[in-house]
């Protein structure tokens, strides 16, 4: 079965939308933030904990799984869900973002991309067909079309060539796509160029995908530019399909994305911050390694309902981090992910009540951007 | 309340004994293996997982907690149980074993031991009184008397002086002990010298502790010598008090210890092995990093009831280890600890049925020592 998106309510004052997505592994509500499970594991969490934090869907990385353990092993295990023992929805990216950060511009041809493995330097070649073939074998619920994700900034000419090629790649990938239980999203690009975003959206929509991803964000542009990139394209995307803003996970960016009509987000930020000892709180980010928490026997965020905040103190988390005990990173990962997922829960509730802007204002008043 | 040991059954054919120990944080059965939570956390596990694997009691390290976060912080948190959010029984060691591995012989005086912090090289001084004071503040259920744990081998003369001093240290520690909710164990030493083990036992028992630890094992001696060290002393220990063999956790050593009358064990081996990718199985230890497990979609040990073996395959665990994902170490830690705790469950059942030797034979026939 393909996924089924149902638009249930539109906020009266913004483009924010509330809906649901049904998959073969259960239904989840949107807008939704997806924890990232790069190598078939959300770093430091087990599948029970992923469920506990209310993750409706997780993301896993095609590039990483292609290299390790290899898509054939995942396939022999019965697909990614069985391999990692996770029975909720999974989305896989196309590998493009990882590949392009390892490739040089001259390595990109019409056929595909040549790059070096980050593990052993081995020369690898990824094509639109290969990306789809790998994802078909991984058997995620949602696969991504192979795109070029150019750095920021590039010239208009570069970007024009790039989006045109990405459309040709999208067609090639769609042509070989062969998994009836998997859905396929197209990716729109175009950088900060309004007409290219429009063109990319329209051409991608013509190919009739099961959903649409907005790419090329969080690659170095400033925030106002990122918000424009969303606006330029999203108006050309169909209302009856989900929209996914790739690689975005700052709390305030979730609000900005939702306000502009985005349904899905993913980002490594919450787990990466956690591994460095940082935590989201209602009042902004804090660094738990700070000596001032040595004797602070209060929770990381007293307004949070996660396992970390309900059971442990800042002093204990700080001790674990300083003593290099992985439980500290795990508890903070759980907290940071739950923090973003709880924002999305609040957002969904607010949209249903046409109170999105009130919620946004309240959140921004507390949350000091650092 | 002090702990209460109840001897419930003695095996007809060996010195193995089945009993229970009541503490302020619940009752557990003996013989029991204690997972080690060095720095107020059993490495990679959270307290729920410690409970799930059936750990009746855990051990935490006085030396490590003294240095980090400091006993005063633990005390301000409400004691070790509250600090680490673990409401089961906890035993603390005396710090001696860690200190002596960092000290040189000339640094040991009648007063105490001078040594360097393993964290920052700072000069530290630990005395019998200080060890007890720290443990009183940590508020564990069972504290250990401060002893010298000499290396193996040492001369008879060295060992004689050492055990005599350890008795004087035991008296000094007992004199300052001041926590009505904590019990105190004495530690017997004497190396491989039968008369010194006898003397150490008799003198320690005269001081009337709540339990007795057998020390100086697993410090380099061969297995037959270790078994003799247990035998030399244990016959002089009272039947109505628990006996704890320190630092021993090889599966076969658990059988050998129980057969000789030991009730409690601890060892970092199961979690340390796990972090290096090794797992106990019914048929011996295996290295999950081995390429032969790449496509092995069976559990680590199909006879095991732990979370790791019930939900994950060798291929997935291997992937996590190779990809350096901490979930791999965590799942193997859970498995290895559960493996030892399950051995103890089987042993307790066998003792109650006077079938300890049958169980031991069956286990040894399967388990190939590596």
Q: Each residue of B281-323: pLDDT tens digit?
A: 999 999 999 999 999 999 999 999 999 999 999 999 999 999 9
Chain A residues within 8 A of B316 when measuring between CB atoms: 40, 77, 83-85
Take residue B298 and report the two structure tokens written for it.
């069976």
3-state secondary structure of B354: coil
Share the mean pLDDT of chain A: 97
- Look at A327 and B46 and tell me if their CB atoms are within 8 Å: yes
Would you say A204 and A230 are in contact if contact means Cβ atoms under 8 Å apart?
Answer: no
| Least Cα separation, residue B350 to chain A (angstroms) | 34
| DSSP characters over A146-201 | ------SS--HHHHHHHHHHHHHHHHHHHHH---TT-EEEEEE--TT-HHHHHHHH
Take residue A86 and report the two structure tokens written for it.
């996770």
- Look at B45 and A312 and tell me if their CB atoms are within 8 Å: no
- Look at B77 and A325 and tell me if their CB atoms are within 8 Å: no
Would you say A97 and A246 are in contact if contact means Cβ atoms under 8 Å apart?
Answer: yes
The candidate with the shortest Cα–Cα distance to B237, out of B267, B266, B263, B265, is B263
| Least Cα separation, residue B306 to chain A (angstroms) | 14
Q: Which of B44, B322, B325 sits opposite A43 (nearest CB)?
A: B325
Residues of B with a known catalytic role: 93, 266
**The pLDDT value given to residue B252:** 97
- Look at B68 and A295 and tell me if their CB atoms are within 8 Å: no
Hey, of A44, A46, A335, which one would you mutate to test binding to chain B, going by the most B CBs within 10 A of its CB? A46
From B86, which residue of chain A is nearest by alpha-carbon distance?
A: A311
Cis peptide before B322 (omega within 30 of 0): no
| Least Cα separation, residue B252 to chain A (angstroms) | 29
Express each pLDDT in B191-204 by its tens digit: 999 999 999 999 99
3-state secondary structure of A296: coil
Express each pLDDT in B313-363 by its tens digit: 999 999 999 999 999 999 999 999 999 999 999 999 999 999 999 999 999
Express each pLDDT in A134-189 by its tens digit: 999 999 999 999 999 999 999 999 999 999 999 999 999 999 999 999 999 999 99
Chain A residues within 8 A of B294 when measuring between CB atoms: 69, 73
- Indicate the pLDDT class of residue A369, thresholds 50, 70 and 90: low
What ranges make up the beta strands (E) of chain B? 4-10, 17-23, 26-30, 32-34, 58-60, 90-92, 113-116, 123-126, 142-144, 183-188, 211-214, 243-245, 264-266, 278-281, 284-287
Q: Which residue has the tokens 């006993």?
A: B71
Question: What 8-state DSSP symbol labels residue A107?
Answer: G
Write down the number of H helices and E strands in chain A: 15, 15
Phi, psi dihedral angles at A332 (to 5 degrees): -70, -35
From A311, which residue of chain B is nearest by alpha-carbon distance?
A: B85
| Least Cα separation, residue A271 to chain B (angstroms) | 13
**The pLDDT value given to residue B369:** 55
Chain A residues within 8 A of B318 when measuring between CB atoms: 69
The CA-to-CA distance between both ends of chain A, in Å, stands at 44
Torsion sign, CA atoms B304, B307, B311, B314: negative
A-B C-beta contacts closer than 8 Å: 99
Q: What's this model's pTM, rounded to 2 decimal places? A: 0.97
**The pLDDT value given to residue B193:** 98
**From CA B93, how far away is CA B60, in angstroms rounded?**
7
The candidate with the shortest Cα–Cα distance to A95, out of A141, A46, A137, A60, is A60
Catalytic residue among A139, A147, A266, A301: A266
Chain B residues within 8 A of A331 when measuring between CB atoms: 46
- Look at A315 and B40 and tell me if their CB atoms are within 8 Å: no
Q: How far is CA B65 from its chain centroid?
A: 16
The candidate with the shortest Cα–Cα distance to A45, out of A343, A309, A332, A340, is A332
**From CA A277, how far away is CA B288, in angstroms rounded?**
30
- Look at A329 and B326 and tell me if their CB atoms are within 8 Å: yes
Chain B residues within 8 A of A323 when measuring between CB atoms: 39, 64, 68
- Look at A85 and B327 and tell me if their CB atoms are within 8 Å: no
Would you say B218 and B267 are in contact if contact means Cβ atoms under 8 Å apart?
Answer: yes
Contacts of B56 (CB under 8 A, 6+ apart): B21, B28, B29, B30, B32, B34, B88, B89
**From CA A91, how far away is CA A217, in angstroms rounded?**
18
Would you say A58 and A90 are in contact if contact means Cβ atoms under 8 Å apart?
Answer: yes
**From CA B250, how far away is CA B340, in angstroms rounded?**
9
**From CA B345, how far away is CA A362, in angstroms rounded?**
55
Q: Which of A69, A311, A319 sits opposite B85 (nearest CB)?
A: A311
- Look at B316 and A85 and tell me if their CB atoms are within 8 Å: yes
Chain B residues within 8 A of A272 when measuring between CB atoms: none
- Number of Cβ within a 10 Å radius of residue A205: 17
| ipTM tops the 0.95 cut | yes
Take residue B27 and report the two structure tokens written for it.
């009752």
Hey, of A326, A329, A330, A335, which one would you mutate to test binding to chain B, going by the most B CBs within 10 A of its CB? A326
Would you say B109 and B148 are in contact if contact means Cβ atoms under 8 Å apart?
Answer: no
Express each pLDDT in A80-122 by its tens digit: 999 999 999 999 999 999 988 888 777 999 999 999 999 999 9
**From CA B169, how far away is CA B173, in angstroms rounded?**
6
Would you say A94 and A134 are in contact if contact means Cβ atoms under 8 Å apart?
Answer: no
Hey, of B37, B65, B69, B320, which one would you mutate to test binding to chain A, going by the most A CBs within 10 A of its CB? B69
- Look at A326 and B44 and tell me if their CB atoms are within 8 Å: yes
| Least Cα separation, residue B142 to chain A (angstroms) | 22
**From CA B191, how far away is CA B196, in angstroms rounded?**
8
Express each pLDDT in B242-267 by its tens digit: 999 999 999 999 999 999 999 999 99
- Look at A315 and B45 and tell me if their CB atoms are within 8 Å: no
Q: Which of B47, B295, B307 sits opposite A73 (nearest CB)?
A: B295
**The pLDDT value given to residue B104:** 78
3-state secondary structure of A19: strand
**From CA A66, how far away is CA A140, in angstroms rounded?**
13
| Least Cα separation, residue B125 to chain A (angstroms) | 21
Angle at the Cα of B27 from the Cα atoms of B24 and B30, rounded to 5 degrees: 130
**The pLDDT value given to residue A102:** 84
Take residue A361 and report the two structure tokens written for it.
């204002």
- Look at A85 and B43 and tell me if their CB atoms are within 8 Å: no
| Least Cα separation, residue B118 to chain A (angstroms) | 12
């Amino acid at each position: 079965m393909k996924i089924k998106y149902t638009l249930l309510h539109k906020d009266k004052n913004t483009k924010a939308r509330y809906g649901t997505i049904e998959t073969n592994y259960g239904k989840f509500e949107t807008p939704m933030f997806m924890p990232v499970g790069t190598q078939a594991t959300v770093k430091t969490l087990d599948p029970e904990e992923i469920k506990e934090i209310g993750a409706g869907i997780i993301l896993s990385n095609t590039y990483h799984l292609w290299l390790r353990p290899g898509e054939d092993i995942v396939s022999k295990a019965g697909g990614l869900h069985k391999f990692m023992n996770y029975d909720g929805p999974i989305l896989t990216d196309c590998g493009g973002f990882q590949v392009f950060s390892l490739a040089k511009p001259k390595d990109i041809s019409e056929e595909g991309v040549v790059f070096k493995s980050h593990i052993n330097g081995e020369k690898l070649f990824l094509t639109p067909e290969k990306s789809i073939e790998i994802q078909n074998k991984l058997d995620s619920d949602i696969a991504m079309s192979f795109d070029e994700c150019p750095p920021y900034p590039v010239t208009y000419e570069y970007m024009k060539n790039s989006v045109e090629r990405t459309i040709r790649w999208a067609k090639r990938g769609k042509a070989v796509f062969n998994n009836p239980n998997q859905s396929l999203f197209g990716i729109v690009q175009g950088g900060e160029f309004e007409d290219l975003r429009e063109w990319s959206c329209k051409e991608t929509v013509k190919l009739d995908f099961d959903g649409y991803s907005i790419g090329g964000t969080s690659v170095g542009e400033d925030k106002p530019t990122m918000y424009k990139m969303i606006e330029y394209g999203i108006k050309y995307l169909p209302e009856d399909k989900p929209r996914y803003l790739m690689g975005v996970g700052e709390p305030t960016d979730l609000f900005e994305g939702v306000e502009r009509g985005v349904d899905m987000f993913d980002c490594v930020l919450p787990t990466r911050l956690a591994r460095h000892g940082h935590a989201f709180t209602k009042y902004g980010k804090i660094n738990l390694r700070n000596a001032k928490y040595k004797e602070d026997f209060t929770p990381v965020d007293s307004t949070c309902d996660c396992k970390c905040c309900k059971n442990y103190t800042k002093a204990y988390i700080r001790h674990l981090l300083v003593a290099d005990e992985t439980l500290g990173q795990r508890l903070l990962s759980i907290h940071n992910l739950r923090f973003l997922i709880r924002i999305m829960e609040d957002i969904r509730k607010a949209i249903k009540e046409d109170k999105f802007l009130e919620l946004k204002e309240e959140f921004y008043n507390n949350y000091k951007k650092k």
